[in-house]
Structure 1
Amino acid sequence: MSGAMKVLAELFEGIESETPYGGRAVSWEPLGSAWLKLGARRRREKNEPGGARAIETAAAETRSDARLTVGRMLRFGGGDWRIVAGETVGGRAILNLERIR
């Protein structure tokens, strides 16, 4: 990821609970922060029953950290990015991130 930008991201875990009316709510609990080296961002359209949505994806690299798991959320640059995939290679975590625009 040469020429990639480094950002400090906050890490959150979604905690589901039941609402008083029988619905489900998600609150985001902070777990800490991580420095990310971001790769290029890409946009694509995702067709769903309610219409098309724009999805932004990005790859990020950081130090290996057991807290960086699929489903958790990273907040940086004014946006919330979900970790959708990740692997550890030689002490480095390579993450695939996604956010819905």
Structure 2
Amino acid sequence: MMKVLAGVFRPVETVTAQGGRAVFHEAMGQVWLKAGARRRAEKGEAGAVVVVETMKAEARADPRLEEGLRLRFSGADWKVLVVDQTLKAGRMVLELERVR
């Protein structure tokens, strides 16, 4: 496992002047992660192949970290799928996903 500094981003949805919706990600700060091994799977539908990477990461307990946030580190954006705080006091495990 390697330690990385990750930016934390929250999705914010707005309505455009034309009545559509736009989503941007607002910075919330940074956290240190102990990143685990990446797992890669390919999913295909109608001739298109999508690569999905998953990873578990450990972090200090932080009330900002919740499902649906984005973490940016090592040049990639990862979505937080699950936050598990049962590891041990003061620590949490995050399940992350990246679709390429």
When normalised by structure 1's length, the TM-score is: 0.90
The structural deviation recorded for 1:85 is: 0.7
Give 1:11-30 correspondences, 5 Å limit: 11-30=8-27
Check if 1:56 corresponds to 2:53: yes
When normalised by structure 2's length, the TM-score is: 0.91
Which of 55, 77, 81 is the matching residue for 1:80?
77
Q: Aligned pair count? A: 98
Unaligned runs of 5+ in 2: none
Q: Deviations over 1:14-39 (max 9, x none)?
A: 00011122221111111010000011
Identical counterparts, % of pairs: 50
Distance in 2 (CA, whole Å) between partners of 1:88 and 1:49 is 39
What corresponds to 2:97 in structure 1? 98
Distance in 2 (CA, whole Å) between partners of 1:50 and 1:70 is 31
Distance in 2 (CA, whole Å) between partners of 1:50 and 1:17 is 33
**Runs of at least 4 residues of structure 1 off by over 6 A?**
none
CA RMSD, Structure 1 to Structure 2 (Å): 1.4
